[in-house]
Structure 1
Amino acid sequence: MLRTLFSPRLVGLHLLVIGVLVSFTFLGRWQLGVFEASGAPKLAPDPAPIAVSDLAKVGSHVTGDVAGRRVTATGTYEAGSQLLVADRLPDVSAPGGRAARGAGFWLLTPLRLADGTIVSVIRGWVPSAQDPAAAVPSGPVTVTGRLRPSEQTDAVERSGQLPGGQVATVSTAELINVWPNAPLRDGFVVATAPTPPPGATAVAVPPPTLGVGFNWRNLAYAAQWWIFALFAVFMWFHFVRDAVRGGRGEERRPAAVAEAGS
Structure 2
Amino acid sequence: MTAPRRPGLLTDLGAAVLALVLVGIAGWLGKWQYDAWQAHRDAESRDLSGVAAVPLDDVMGSDDPFPAPDLGRPVEVSGEWLDGGFWVQNRTYDGTDGYWAVAPLHVGDAAVLVVRGWAPEPDDALLAATGDADVVGWIQAPEGSLVTDDDPDDDVFPEIRVADAVQRVDVDLYSAYLISQDPAPGLEPAELAALPEPGRFTGVRNLLYAFEWWVFGAFAAFIWWRWRRDVVTGVTSPLNARGDAPRT
Relative to the length of structure 2, the TM-score reads 0.57
The answer as to 2:239 corresponding to 1:239 is no
Aligned counterpart in structure 1 of residue 160 of structure 2, from 170, 176, 196: 170
The question of 1:183 aligning with 2:185 is answered: no
Q: 5 Å matches for 1:85-234?
A: 85-88=88-91, 104-111=98-105, 118-126=111-119, 128-130=120-122, 136=128, 140-148=132-140, 150-151=142-143, 155-158=144-147, 161=150, 164-177=154-167, 179-180=168-169, 182-195=170-183, 197=185, 200-204=188-192, 214=203, 216=205, 219-220=208-209, 222-234=211-223
Matched, 1:84 2:92: no
Matched residue type, 2:87: L
Which has the larger Rg?
Answer: 1
Listed one character per residue, the Cα deviations across residues 178-232 of structure 1 (whole Å, up to 9, x for unaligned) are x25x4343334314443455762234267999x9963846743541243122221
The CA distance in 2 between the partners of 1:205 and 1:107, in whole Å, is 14
What runs of 5+ residues in structure 1 fail to find an aligned partner? 1-7, 91-101, 247-262
Tell me the matched-pair count: 211
Post-superposition offset of 1:158: 1.9
1:85, distance to aligned residue in structure 2 (A) = 1.6
Q: Is the aligned partner of 1:75 residue 2:80?
A: yes
Bigger share in helix: 1
- For residues 25 and 125 of structure 1, what CA distance do their matches in structure 2 show? 55
Q: C-alpha distance in 1, partners of 2:117/2:20?
A: 57
Going from structure 1 to structure 2, the CA distance change for 1:157 and 1:74 (only over 3 Å counts) comes to closer
Q: Point out where structure 2 has 5 or more consecutive residues left out of the alignment.
A: 1-8, 236-248
CA contact 2:36–2:206 (8 Å) conserved in 1: no
Secondary structure at the aligned position of 1:223 is classed as: helix
RMSD: 5.1
TM-score by length of 1: 0.54
- Is the 8 Å Cα contact of residues 29 and 222 (structure 1) preserved in structure 2? no
CA contact (8 A) 1:76 1:112 kept: yes
Query: Would you identify which runs of 4 or more consecutive aligned residues in structure 1 move more than 6 Å?
Result: 15-22, 42-47, 205-209
